C-alpha cells in the first residue's frame, strides 16, 4: 500500500532535491574545471582563463608529467607506506588508550583524559615542536618524522574511548575476567572485535590525515626521495607562486623547469584522482561510525 503524500511533503521533497542538487553541482564544478584545464593547452588558459569544456584539447600536460614518473611514483610510495604503517600503529595505540581510559577500575582515568584533552587547547607552538622532533627525538629527514607525530590525536582517542564505552558493556568485560582472561586478552579478544565500526571510523580519519599530510614533509624532510605526495604537489605550486611574488629587486631567476598552469592541473588530477575514486566506497563507514554511539539505549 502506498501512503499518499500531501502537498507540503511534496514541496519539501522538491526543495530538498533542488538544494542537494545545487550543492553537489557546486562541489563537482571545481573538479570539472581542474580536469578540463589539465586537458587545455597552457597558453589557452592564460589567454582565456578556465573553461568548463576545453577549447583546445591536448594531452601535453600529462605527457610532461609522465615523462619522468619516478618522482611522482616515489612520492606515491612514501605516502602509501606512511598511511598504512601510521594507521596500523595509530589504531593499535589509540584503541588501547581508549580502552584503558574507559575502564571504571582505572583510578586516574579522568585525570589522564583531562591531560589528553588539555593538549587540544594548549600547545607549545611551532618552535618547541620543531626542536622536540629534530633535536631530541632526532627524527629529522627520516620517515619517523612523517609517522610518529600524527599517531595519537586527542580527538580520536576521546572518540575511541566513548565508542568503546558505549559498544562494550562492562558486564562483558567482567564475565571475561571471571573466565580467567587477563587485561590484554580482554582487550584483544573481546573489546577489539566488538569495536570494529569504531575502528573503521577512527582508521579512516587517521588514514585520511596521513594521506593529506604535507606539513611534516615541509618541515622535516630534506631528502627529495622522502617527500609525501601532497607535499610534492604543493611544492610545485609554491615554486611558481614564489616566482610570481618575489620582487624584481631580489633578482632571482630560476633556471629549472617552472610548471605551467595546465601542468599543475594535470598533477592535481594524477595526485588526487585515485583517492577520489576510492572515496565513495569507504564513505558509508564514515556516516555509520560517526552516528554509532551517539544515541545511548
Partner 1 sequence: MVGKQKKVLHLFISLVLVLTLLAACSNNSKTNNEPSPAPSKSTTTEGTNAEGNESSISGIDTSERVELQFYMLGNAPKDLDKVEAQVNEWLLEDLNATVKFNYTTWTDWDQKYRLLLSTGQDVDLIFTAEWTQYQQYAKNGAFMRLDELLPVAAPKLYEFVPQDMWEAVKIDGNIYTVPATYKEYVTGGFVWREDLRVKHNLPKPVDIETFEAYLAGIKQNEPNIQPLAVGQDVGATLEDAYLDFQRQRVGAMPYGLHASYSDPSNIVGYWGSEEHLTDLKRYKSWADNGYFSKNELNETDGNQDKLTNGTAAAMLSDNPTRYNSVLNQMKALHPDWDLAYHPYGLTLGYATPVHPIHNGFAVPKNSKKAERALAFYELMVTDKRYNLLTQYGFEDVNYTVEDGYYKMIGDNTTNGFVREAMNGWAWRNPEYMIFEPSYDGVEAIFNELDKIQVPDIYTGFAEDYTPYQAERAALEQVEKQYLYPLMAGLVDDVEDGLKTFMEKANQAGLEKIQESYKQQWLQYLQESGHN
Q: How far is the CB of 181 from partner 1 (least distance, A)?
A: 31
Q: Per-residue DSSP letters for 146-161?
A: HHGGGS--HHHHHHHH
CA distances, 159 to each of 108, 134, 265, 290, 294 (Å): 19, 30, 37, 9, 11
69 vs 169 by CB, closer to partner 1: 69
- Interface with partner 1 by CB under 8 A: which range of 8-16, 189-197, 240-248, 276-284? 240-248
In this structure, what C-alpha cell is assigned to residue 256? Answer: 629549472
In this structure, what C-alpha cell is assigned to residue 63? Answer: 605527457
- Interface with partner 1 by CB under 8 A: which range of 10-18, 27-35, 74-82, 116-124? 116-124
In terms of C-beta distances under 8 Å and separation of at least 24 residues, what long-range contacts does 4-12 make, across chains too?
A: none
Regarding 295 and contact with partner 1 (CB under 8 A), the answer is no
74 vs 177 by CB, closer to partner 1: 74
Instruction: Enumerate the β-bridge partners of residue 40.
Output: 57
Which of 22, 56, 238, 291 contacts partner 1 by CB under 8 A?
238
Per-residue binding string, partner 1, 62-101, x by CB under 8 A, is --x--xx--x------------------------------
Contact 56, 44 (CB under 8 A): yes
- Interface with partner 1 by CB under 8 A: which range of 163-171, 190-198, 239-247, 277-285? 239-247
Q: How far is the CB of 41 from partner 1 (least distance, A)?
A: 11
Q: Per-residue DSSP letters for 39-89?
A: TB-HHHHHHH---SS-SSB--HHHHHHHHSTHHHHHHHHHHHHHHHHHHHH
Contact 210, 83 (CB under 8 A): yes
47 vs 104 by CB, closer to partner 1: 47
**40 backbone dihedrals φ, ψ, rounded to 5°:** -100, 155
Contact 60, 44 (CB under 8 A): no
- H or E element: which one contains 278? helix 261-291
Per-residue binding string, partner 1, 177-216, x by CB under 8 A, is -------------------------------------x--
Which of 140, 154, 197, 293 contacts partner 1 by CB under 8 A?
140
Contact 263, 61 (CB under 8 A): yes
Regarding 105 and contact with partner 1 (CB under 8 A), the answer is no
Q: How far is the CB of 241 from partner 1 (least distance, A)?
A: 8
Per-residue binding string, partner 1, 118-137, x by CB under 8 A, is x---x-xxxxx-xx--xx--
Which of 250, 277, 294, 295 contacts partner 1 by CB under 8 A?
250
Which of 28, 252, 278, 287 contacts partner 1 by CB under 8 A?
252
Torsion of CA 285, 290, 295, 297, to 10 degrees: 40
Residues that bind partner 1 (CB under 8 A): 43, 46-47, 64, 67-68, 71, 110-111, 114-115, 118, 122, 124-128, 130-131, 134-135, 140, 214, 218-219, 222, 224, 231, 234-235, 238-257, 261
Amino acid at each position: 500500500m502506498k501512503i499518499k503524500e500531501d502537498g507540503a511533503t511534496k514541496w519539501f521533497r522538491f526543495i530538498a532535491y533542488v538544494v542537494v542538487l545545487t550543492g553537489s553541482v557546486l562541489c563537482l564544478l571545481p573538479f570539472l574545471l581542474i580536469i578540463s584545464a589539465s586537458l587545455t593547452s597552457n597558453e589557452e588558459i592564460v589567454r582565456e582563463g578556465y573553461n568548463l569544456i576545453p577549447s583546445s584539447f591536448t594531452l601535453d600536460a600529462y605527457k610532461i608529467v609522465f615523462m619522468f614518473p619516478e618522482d611522482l611514483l616515489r612520492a606515491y610510495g612514501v605516502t602509501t607506506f606512511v598511511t598504512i604503517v601510521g594507521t596500523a600503529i595509530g589504531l593499535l595505540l589509540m584503541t588501547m588508550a581508549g580502552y584503558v581510559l574507559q575502564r571504571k577500575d582505572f583510578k586516574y582515568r579522568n585525570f589522564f583524559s583531562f591531560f589528553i584533552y588539555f593538549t587540544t587547547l594548549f600547545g607549545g607552538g611551532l618552535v618547541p615542536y620543531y626542536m622536540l622532533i629534530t633535536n631530541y627525538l632526532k627524527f629529522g629527514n627520516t620517515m619517523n618524522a612523517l609517522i610518529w607525530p600524527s599517531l595519537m590525536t586527542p580527538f580520536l582517542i576521546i572518540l575511541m574511548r566513548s565508542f568503546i564505552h558505549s559498544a562494550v558493556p562492562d558486564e562483558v568485560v567482567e564475565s571475561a575476567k571471571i573466565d580467567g582472561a587477563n587485561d590484554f586478552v580482554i582487550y584483544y579478544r573481546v573489546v577489539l572485535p566488538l569495536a570494529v565500526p569504531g575502528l573503521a571510523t577512527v582508521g579512516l580519519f587517521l588514514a585520511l590525515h596521513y594521506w593529506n599530510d604535507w606539513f611534516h614533509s615541509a618541515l622535516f624532510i630534506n631528502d627529495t626521495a622522502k617527500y609525501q605526495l601532497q607535499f610534492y604537489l604543493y611544492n610545485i605550486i609554491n615554486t611558481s607562486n614564489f616566482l610570481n611574488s618575489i620582487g624584481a629587486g631580489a633578482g632571482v631567476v630560476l633556471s629549472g623547469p617552472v610548471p605551467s598552469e595546465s601542468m599543475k592541473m594535470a598533477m592535481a588530477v594524477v595526485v588526487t584522482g585515485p583517492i577520489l575514486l576510492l572515496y565513495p566506497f569507504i564513505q558509508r563507514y564514515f556516516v555509520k561510525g560517526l552516528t554509532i554511539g551517539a544515541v545511548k539505549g
